[in-house]
Amino acid sequence: MFDTTDSPFSPRGVDRGTLAMLSAVDISSAGKLLDLGCAYGVVGIYAAKFIGEENVVMSDIDHKSIVLSNKNAELNNVSGIKIVQSDGFRNLEDTGFTHILSNPPYHADFSIAKHFIEKGFNRLAIGGFMVMVTKRRDWYKNKLVSIFGGVMIQEIDGYFVFVAEKRSEKYAGVKK
């Protein structure tokens, strides 16, 4: 059960991109998960049901999204999720994530996605996964490969789901 009425993102219910992303990842294997750009909390709340609310962090820049996420966490009996208002990673200090999931605002310029990918890499544990869903393929593929060294891509329901694994402490493009 989710209250979406005041959400600036997908106010009529869970969007197809988020559903595509969730269908492509095994959340039950996550140790510590970040729902980056959580909107009203679908991904984080879903994850908390599998891995425990104490292992989930949700963040969004939008105050209304934070209010709705808190409300929805309570409605779904996972009020122990850590929910933080943050512009990307700017107010978020957590590290050691095994999974970072995001449905970024891909209709905007790429500066938000660039921040999510570059800073997200630094917040992942070795062996952790960055999972993103967009309707755009090439820019995301190129950026994820330049940072992670590779990316798996699935096309689901008109969306591209990207899964990149952190295998080193350094960006792939940085010489040792």
Q: Is this prediction's pTM over 0.85? A: yes
Q: Do strands 82-85 and 56-60 pair parallel, antiparallel, or not at all (unpaired)?
A: parallel
Looking at residue 50, what is its pLDDT? Answer: 96
How far is Cα 58 from Cα 63, in angstroms, rounded to an integer? 13
How far is Cα 34 from Cα 20, in angstroms, rounded to an integer? 17
How far is Cα 51 from Cα 99, in angstroms, rounded to an integer? 12
Looking at residue 144, what is its pLDDT? Answer: 97
Measured in whole angstroms, the distance separating CA 61 from the mean position of its chain's CA atoms is 13
Tell me the average confidence (pLDDT) per consecutive run of 10 residues in the chain, 176 residues long.
Answer: 66 82 93 96 96 97 94 96 97 97 83 95 98 95 97 97 97 72
Looking at residue 32, what is its pLDDT? Answer: 98
Nearest CA-CA partner of 41 in 20, 70, 64, 8: 70
